[in-house]
Amino acid sequence: KERTDIKLKMPPAVYERVVVKNSPVYQYMKVSLVLEKAQTKLTAVEFKHLITTGLKSLYGEVGAAFPFDLLTFEEDTLTAVLRIYSRGLVRLWSSLTLLGFFQQQRCAFRVLQVSRTSSYTL
Amino acid sequence: MFLDDLMRELHVQLQHAGHTCLKILFKMFKQLEKTPRTVLACERSHLDHEKARLGTHVEQHFFNHKVSLLVPGCDRLPAELDSALNSMRSFLLVKNLPLSQLLDKEFLEKAVYKGSTYGLSYQTRIDEDNCFALLPNGKLVLSVDKDTYETLGLEGKPSQYQRRPAGRYVVSVDLKDRTMSPGGKGHQRVLKALTEHNPLSCDLLLSQHLPGDESPALQSLLSNHKLSEHRPRVSTHVMTSLPCPTLVTSDLQGEQQSCDPQSFLEWLGAVDAGVTFEEESGGYLSTYECPQPQTVLDSAVRCSVTGLLLPEDIYHLLDVLRRSVLEPKLAPWLALTVHGFQDSPVSWGTAEHGFLSGGENFYTLVLFQNLDYWICMATGSHDACPP
């Protein structure tokens, strides 16, 4: 009789563990743009266009032909969260590094954090 | 005739060269598509299951920087949960603390042997600077560059992630070991290394958990150093009409009707980053959508706490969550994400941690109303597989 009692008390759930390697299809980047003239304002559309231009100038039409998303954009700090296919991460990152001009003024991208989710600690 | 042959030969050669060129280009693009290794370990069980290792995972993740909680189905946090989040203990920031201070007899007796003390060097980068950590089990971990290692004269191991050529070494000293008691052989050797050979110092974040109601003695122990006390920062947001993926407890791999853990983590991240799910510019800016199948929540609260957060406090939070999830008014689950410090020398337990591209080490707990849970532990490329 005792045994059945114990069985009834046992929770129905099981223990299951799954380990996945290299699973993320997307990678998320938090980047900020530093401009020579700090008072310059940019809209989200201009910001995304700037990055696309950078990609095309480094990799050409075909090399740059992969989509990326601008998830958030703060106009005050020019900080954005980008979502990119994992296989495009290196290409996007390198083109951000080499992007040096926005409308004839010098600029630089700072990569603040790279992660598998856009939940940032910074 | 001769010219014709020559032309044909040239044509073949050119074709061949073009082919090789294309091959090289193709290979280059393939190389560019490689991304650093990542690991995601997911577990599903019940809080009372004999094999449930939730407590161990929480306890072993020593250095937590940010806790974010998502409570669907309410527009205000339940009072008990709110107080648990606001009562996370404060921590100290000690400026320019010589590491030899950690070997002081009084410090050892009041901080290391008694209760658990957590210490982590502040604003040091794990891939460039010397980083230090004092673990609650009494281990002092020094992750130092090659030059520092050679001047220290302590025994260590080359870092797993900078091996050839070894540019970084990890020295682990067990302060609770018998030889490390004040005056002991090991103690003298380490003290000599940290005072004479290379007097290392750093800004250190410190916090202590003592059993019972005893108040921590750290402040009085380090009173002759410049120190400041900080409270964890709490921020709360209420969201309305939030699209939310459907989770099925038994479907951890997302094979049936549930959202798979990776997509769910991405959605949680998007909620945490404040992503709006309505596209305004006709799909030019973003094509991100909430994973299917989805429902729309009338309201949800997300709350995040940042600071040096102790596993003991998170464990207490888990207890409160366990009680809160049973409230019938709330949605069928709660999600808690705990981020580790990116530049900590260890991630889980004493497993070495590195940075490479992100240095991420975090876990997300999804607690369901029937007390089943999912825990997803993620690490980056310079990290061991989560326990």
Residue pair B252/A18 in contact by the 8 Å Cβ criterion: yes
Domain that holds residue B84: 39-89+232-276+285-379
Inside any domain, residue B243: yes
Q: Tell me the DSSP string of B66-87.
A: EEEEEEET-SS--HHHHHHHHT
Q: What is the C-alpha to C-alpha distance for residues B365 and B338, in angstroms, rounded to an integer?
A: 8
Residue among B253, B286, B306 whose CB faces A18 most closely = B253
Q: Where are the domains of chain A?
A: 26-114
Residue among A24, A89, A119 whose CB faces B268 most closely = A119
Statement: residue B280 has pLDDT above 90? no
Residues B152 and B252 in one domain: no
Q: Using the 3D structure, point to which of B230, B246, B265 is the last residue of a domain.
A: B230
With CB atoms and an 8 Å threshold, state whether A22 touches B357.
Answer: no
Residues B199 and B211 in one domain: yes
Question: In percent, how much of chain B has pLDDT > 70?
Answer: 96
Residues B122 and B250 in one domain: no
Structural domain count of chain B: 2
B357 interfacial to chain A (CB closer than 8 Å): yes
Average pLDDT over residues B315-323: 89
Q: What is the pLDDT of residues B49-85, one digit of tens each?
A: 887 888 888 888 999 999 999 988 888 888 888 888 9
Residues B206 and B300 in one domain: no
Residues B371 and B269 in one domain: yes
Confidence of residue B364 (pLDDT cuts 50, 70, 90): very high
Residues B175 and B59 in one domain: no
Residue among B33, B38, B287 whose CB faces A87 most closely = B33
User: Which residues of chain A are within 8 Å of residue B362 when distances are taken between CB atoms?
Assistant: 119
Residue ranges of the alpha helices (H) in chain B?
A: 2-32, 54-60, 79-86, 105-107, 146-152, 185-192, 218-221, 261-272, 311-324
Q: Is the dihedral of CA B363, B369, B370, B371 positive or negative?
A: positive
Q: What is the C-alpha to C-alpha distance for residues B382 and B360, in angstroms, rounded to an integer?
A: 9
Residue among A11, A114, A119 whose CB faces B49 most closely = A11
| The CATH fold of domain A26-114 | Alpha-Beta Plaits (3.30.70)
Statement: residue B221 has pLDDT above 80? yes
* 3-class DSSP assignment, residue A47: helix
Residues B49 and B74 in one domain: yes
The pLDDT score that the predictor gives to residue B3 is 55
Inside any domain, residue B10: no
The pLDDT score that the predictor gives to residue B50 is 80
Strands (E), B122-180: 131-134, 139-145, 157-158, 168-174
Residues B215 and B185 in one domain: yes
The interface residues of chain B toward chain A in range 183-202, judged by CB-CB distance below 8 A, are none
Confidence of residue A6 (pLDDT cuts 50, 70, 90): very low
For residue A3, what are the contacts with CB-CB under 8 A and spacing of at least 6? none
The pLDDT score that the predictor gives to residue B77 is 85
The pLDDT score that the predictor gives to residue B306 is 92
Higher pLDDT, B255 or B167: B167
Residue pair A71/A12 in contact by the 8 Å Cβ criterion: no
Residue pair B123/B215 in contact by the 8 Å Cβ criterion: no
Q: Which residues are B40's β-sheet partners?
A: A20, B378
Q: Which residues are B353's β-sheet partners?
A: B383
Statement: residue B224 has pLDDT above 80? yes
With CB atoms and an 8 Å threshold, state whether B66 touches A121.
Answer: yes
Place of tokens 């410190």: B206
Inside any domain, residue B30: no
Distance to chain B for A38, nearest Cα, Å: 24
Q: Which residues are B135's β-sheet partners?
A: none
Inside any domain, residue B238: yes
Inside any domain, residue B5: no
Q: Kindly state the helix (H) or strand (E) to which residue A51 belongs, with its residue range.
A: helix A44-63
Average pLDDT over residues B14-37: 75
Residues B73 and B103 in one domain: no
Residues B105 and B205 in one domain: yes
Statement: residue A114 has pLDDT above 80? yes
User: Which residues of chain A are within 8 Å of residue B378 when distances are taken between CB atoms?
Assistant: 116
Confidence of residue B26 (pLDDT cuts 50, 70, 90): confident
Among B9-23, B194-208, B266-280, which is the least confidently predicted range?
Answer: B9-23
Residues B197 and B177 in one domain: yes
The pLDDT score that the predictor gives to residue B286 is 83
Inside any domain, residue B14: no
Residues B101 and B223 in one domain: yes
The pLDDT score that the predictor gives to residue B170 is 92
The interface residues of chain B toward chain A in range 31-90, judged by CB-CB distance below 8 A, are 32-35, 37-46, 48-49, 51-52, 65-66, 68
